[in-house]
A and B are shown apart, each in its own frame.
Chain A
């Protein structure tokens, strides 16, 4: 298996863990300095201008905050997750590219996330995932994930989810 194939297999695996709510195992695939970011979509008039804010992050999570987030789900008082929502990430066009750091590669994927729950209804959200995968250890680890939503003024049901 080439290096790139191993990275693609890794991304498929971690996505599968998220889809299966195997959060402990998923946390185990992160580097200690992992960051998860979702910039606020902000539309300017000029189509050549960036479509996301460079300061406003809708989500900015670390390993510790994600751990708390998953721990919360397992308490009896996670009202927003009881009963749970259906959710599934559909990935396509996973691309691997080198970075300046020989130990790390950039992975980008196109993603559709489906979520359904009463009473919020169903949402289907398209996004670009931009990841950095660390290859310095014996197995690949996820070092950074940036989620770029293809949507201006999203609904809460779309953003309160891990992409």
Chain B
């Protein structure tokens, strides 16, 4: 399908994305080239590979990669493909090794990616054979508060520039403790039906679906302060990122950080800048998208699921990789302050798995909506007559946010401004006519 056939009608009255964007295999292949190739992609958390030689295998788009800590203690993201004939080098999910040895002809690579051993190399390749040219292909790697990102695009800006002012908001969560962050329960990896962008746009800012898709959660009293009197904003950033932040509407001068141990509140207030603290205090929920395929959900919870559990805020970081237009591979992590008490981390973990994990009832309702779109995507008339529509709250009533933060802050709790932002950026990268 040519870009022309995928023309999008985006004007003052309508914001429609053709269904082909959620169904077409050519679109998916172009995404890998035009979108995923030119972005910093989340790989994992530093705590998954604490010691030299520790590794986990991951994907960047369809590329298999290894995140490994070298003997020197540095993080590397290496293409998991032997530079001899290209066989997948490292087949395990996790492990520790000083060397990766290929199962085919036995080439051996150090855990920093350098080619170390070639069986009978001198004899068969000659003494001028230059091993230094045949190390594992390495991505650029950088970390942000423990989250490891990588890209193969040499031209792309640095990770700090890529995140830009979104860091202001992410740091409200990831920067509350001077001890840094931890992923104490490791990573969860599974596949599900549905186009990856549906999850991206939902988590970028779909405040609209909450009271309907998750109505069972509201009725059962599981939505905490989100069910109360709240106000919220949608914020957009360069490179396609967006987030939605909501708090309990209050005039109180005093800052509360619900879900965090009260004895840590002074520490949080000093860790964050005054403006960050103002933004984050009284938070009921914050979720967003780091373009293109990392999302996060942060929600404080009053009382755990079981008797006697402490209040704990849950920060789930998610990654969704498109295995095709219809299938997505997801990874997620609970990210906590590193030095918080074990019972706090445990309560947060239970909330994550029971409310937002793969086996949880919340997730199931979102994913049901995503996969039910697959069922209609094939229809000829459906494609022609029912594009995906993102018109909600084009003219939002002006509302002055409770803080002065960076990015394009729109005072609207429920709108599709973030989704429009996400798709605009995405479509631009895809070279679509709009």
Where the two chains meet, the residues of A that have a C-beta atom closer than 8 Å to any C-beta of B are: 38, 40, 42-45, 53, 55-62, 64-65, 68-69, 71-72, 75, 77-81, 118-120, 152-157, 159-160
Interface of B is mostly: mixed
Which residues from chain A contact B92 at a C-beta distance below 8 Å? 43-45
| Contact of A65 with B375 in the complex, beta carbons under 8 Å | no
CA gap between A44 and B53 in the complex, in Å = 14
Q: Mark B180-209, 1 if CB is under 8 A from A, else 0.
A: 000011111111110000000000000000
Cross-interface CB contact of A159 among B187, B190, B372, cutoff 8 Å? B190
Interface of A is mostly: mixed
In this complex, the member of B91, B358, B375 whose beta carbon has the largest number of chain A beta carbons within 10 angstroms is: B358
CA gap between A39 and B195 in the complex, in Å = 27
Which residues from chain B contact A44 at a C-beta distance below 8 Å? 92-95
Which residues from chain A contact B99 at a C-beta distance below 8 Å? none
Where the two chains meet, the residues of B that have a C-beta atom closer than 8 Å to any C-beta of A are: 91-95, 97, 184-193, 212-213, 215-216, 219-220, 222, 305-307, 329, 349-350, 353-354, 357-359, 361, 364-365, 367-369, 371-372, 374-375
- Contact sample, A vs B, 26 pairs, CB 8 Å cutoff: A40-B187, A40-B188, A45-B92, A56-B185, A56-B186, A57-B185, A59-B359, A61-B354, A65-B350, A65-B354, A68-B220, A68-B222, A79-B364, A81-B364, A119-B372, A119-B374, A152-B93, A155-B190, A155-B191, A156-B193, A156-B367, A157-B192, A157-B193, A159-B359, A160-B358, A160-B359
| Contact of B359 with A153 in the complex, beta carbons under 8 Å | no
Once A55-B185, A71-B220, A78-B216 are accepted as A-B contacts, the answer to whether A153 and B191 lie under 8 Å apart by CB is yes
Q: Which 9 A-B pairs have the closest CB atoms?
A: A80-B364, A156-B192, A56-B186, A80-B368, A77-B215, A59-B359, A45-B92, A77-B216, A75-B216
Cross-interface CB contact of B306 among A53, A64, A72, A77, cutoff 8 Å? A64
| Contact of A72 with B220 in the complex, beta carbons under 8 Å | yes
CA gap between A38 and B190 in the complex, in Å = 13
Which residues from chain B contact A69 at a C-beta distance below 8 Å? 361
Which residues from chain B contact A120 at a C-beta distance below 8 Å? 193, 371
| Contact of A60 with B350 in the complex, beta carbons under 8 Å | yes
